[in-house]
Structure 1
Amino acid sequence: MLSHTPVRTPAPWTNVYGLARTLLALGTLLTLAFSDSATLFRPVAFQGNHPTCHGVEAGGAFCLVPGDELDAMRWACVAILLIVASGWRPRLTALPHAYISFSVFTGIAIGDGGDQMTAVLTLLLILPALGDRRRWHWNAADPNITHPRWLLLAGVSALVVVRLQMSFVYFQASVSKMPHAEWADGTSMWYWGNSLAFGAPGWLHTLVGPVLANPVGVAVLTWSPLFIEISLAAALLVPQRVRYALLAAGTGFHLCIAVMMGLWSFALAMWAGVLLLCLPLGGELRMRERPTGHTSSVQRARTNATTLDSENPASRAAATS
């Protein structure tokens, strides 16, 4: 007779999803805090003045105030994003966070893929956040608090959709490049690296320039992103131990883009997405307690490192998801 062992649904309220929320908030915060209103809200060819306030865009925060109060609204959004990034009361800050992300993506004149990704992810993260009863999203969930089953399933389902969304984003990013001759023949990064708008800054060009001038070097720089992106697209199909390597590759990949092209808000948004894609559902990032007694240096290094809480039964159940 076959026995049935129930599978425990992992709780979505972890500091992994909390860290993702913080990264998303910081990305939007940097855009608003370090770009003045004259840069963010200006005319764009064939579109007119921003914010355009047409259709659904009219519901954005920057369409609710007159033009001479856009600066005040910008700093009000920065203040709210600071609270979101701190991790305080996720279920109270989830809706304002998603609303600000939508307002920035639809309202500013210089929006990029990071703003769009942030708007999508913060919308999806509303479901787990609304069921999050923690004071801070860094805290471990209280095991004595019982959540309604539908809140648990809604939160986990939203995080699964986030993972599928990120997988599709990386698949599309990789496949859409392949038909272009410059990506196929390995020369695309020569053009990007020497671009006046997106090329390496002067201090970095002395290091990157010789690599871009070398046929092998520029081919490696061109094809590496394609390999990383298609690998991340397949992250949900590989064992968890491989996903950890993909997490490191994806983090480093977007760090290189940020340093070389200055797209820091984009990097923060994608780091948040990569975390949710590659780490197990229900997993916790935690600092182990300082060891006592006689322990080896290797043991001390391991216990002081920030690791995934693989000892959590829910984490183990989710590791194969």
Structure 2
Amino acid sequence: MFAQRLIAGLERSVRRFPAESRALGAGRSVMALAQASVLVFTPASHLFVPVGGAETEVGCAPPVQAVSLYCLAGSADRQSVGLVVLAMLLVVASGILPRFTTVLHFWASLSLGQSVSLPDGGDAVAQVVTFFLVLACANDRRTWHWQRPGGAGGGDRAGSPWQGLAWAGWWGVRIQVAYIYLNSALAKLPVDPWAEGSATYYVARMENFGAAGLFADLFRWATGITLIALLSTWGTILAETLIALFLLRRGSRQAVAAVISAALHVLIVLQIGILSFGFIMVGAVLCAASRGIDAYAPRLRDRLPRRFPGAPAARVPG
């Protein structure tokens, strides 16, 4: 009896799953543009460097590394190959044919993550998330992912054999991204500077990885204040935990997870840089929270006339 109810519930969830999503499309675009920024601002000579005294070679071990574009290109100039990867990412960011360009996105992410000598955490996240996005967009038949969902033939999509694959892919993104944030939060707890609340003080003053840019002096001054150092250190752990938990909840809580993620990573970008990593994570959270954002956005829009008298009045049907 329990098994029958479980199966019936899963069938309803799959059937009601919105396979077309503007929020998920926005997340894809943010991730692709963040990855593209690496290729735009970093020459190939800085992406492929000797590590541990070894020659500057691209690993091409089968089966995964061998399909990297840098391996398939053989002896071609890496800067030229990078331009091809950049073009792929810009096509993805445009939103055209999401059902098919998710494959391009995964290929580009795999090429960067498996071939670049010094990948960061964002490259690893992008590889996994874009793999699940190939599945999550399997039933998205729009020309652009900015189009309104539910166009012609929308009623037939719920019964499509691709619907279950799309549902499973979105859940894969959701669980994976939630795990990343929860694992990050829990991993900080046994580390003394994080546990005692002084981590951001030391991070801001690291020689090669500390506060930089226009706000460097401001962040060093602020983290020198004990209360701010405590709040920013423990606040980071709390924010990561909330993102993980809210992503696994329904409705507007997923949208809250996206807001917290954006705020957290913008602050990190302003403090220590790592622009591409920050916005890859923001894009990944947008994808994971897409169902909640899509459901909550119309309700938020409808409330605007009541909260802001100057906003245009909602159109009344009929």
Q: TM-score range by the shorter chain?
A: 0.7 to 0.9
Residue aligning to 2:205 = 194
Q: Is the 8 A contact 2:20 2:150 kept in 1?
A: no
2:80 corresponds to 1:69: no
Residue aligning to 1:308 = none
Per mean C-alpha deviation after superposition, the further-off stretch among 198-207 and 102-111 is 198-207
2:161 corresponds to 1:150: yes
Change (3 A) 1:191 1:250: same
Change (3 A) 1:117 1:154: same
Residue aligning to 1:251 = 262
Alignment of 1:180-259 (within 5 A): 180-236=191-247, 238=249, 240-259=251-270
Taking structure 1 as the reference length, the TM-score comes to: 0.83
Deviations 1:83-140 (A, max 9, x none): 1100011123121111110010011012111111111111111013232211101002
Residue aligning to 2:124 = 116
How far apart are 1:214 and its partner, in Å?
1.5
**CA distance, structure 2, for counterparts of residue 68 and residue 42 of structure 1:** 17
Change (3 A) 1:79 1:170: same
Tell me which of 8, 22, 26 is aligned to 1:15.
22
How far apart are 1:219 and its partner, in Å?
1.3
User: AA paired with 1:216?
Assistant: L
Change (3 A) 1:203 1:135: same
Deviations 1:24-68 (A, max 9, x none): 111211111211010011211166424222333122111122445
User: AA paired with 1:257?
Assistant: I
Q: Is the 8 A contact 2:255 2:293 kept in 1?
A: no
User: AA paired with 1:199?
Assistant: G
2:305 corresponds to 1:298: no
How far apart are 1:16 and its partner, in Å?
1.0
Residue aligning to 2:3 = none
**CA distance, structure 2, for counterparts of residue 78 and residue 303 of structure 1:** 43
Tell me which of 136, 145, 148 is aligned to 1:128.
136
Q: Is the 8 A contact 2:25 2:287 kept in 1?
A: no
Secondary structure at the aligned position of 2:214 is classed as helix
Task: Flag structure 2 segments of 5+ consecutive residues without an equivalent.
Answer: 1-7
**CA distance, structure 2, for counterparts of residue 186 and residue 286 of structure 1:** 36
Per mean C-alpha deviation after superposition, the further-off stretch among 75-84 and 7-16 is 7-16
Deviations 1:277-319 (A, max 9, x none): 334358268799x99xxx7882553769xxxxxxxxxxxxxxx
Alignment of 1:15-94 (within 5 A): 15-45=22-52, 48-55=55-62, 56-94=64-102
Task: Flag structure 1 segments of 5+ consecutive residues without an equivalent.
Answer: 305-321
Change (3 A) 1:76 1:233: same
How far apart are 1:224 and its partner, in Å?
0.9
Q: Is the 8 A contact 1:171 1:233 kept in 2?
A: yes
User: AA paired with 2:93?
Assistant: A
Residue aligning to 1:318 = none
How far apart are 1:174 and its partner, in Å?
0.4
How far apart are 1:141 and its partner, in Å?
2.7
Secondary structure at the aligned position of 1:130 is classed as coil
Q: Is the 8 A contact 1:14 1:284 kept in 2?
A: no
Per mean C-alpha deviation after superposition, the further-off stretch among 52-61 and 117-126 is 52-61
User: AA paired with 2:134?
Assistant: I
Change (3 A) 1:113 1:303: farther
Q: Is the 8 A contact 1:235 1:277 kept in 2?
A: no
Percent sequence identity is: 25
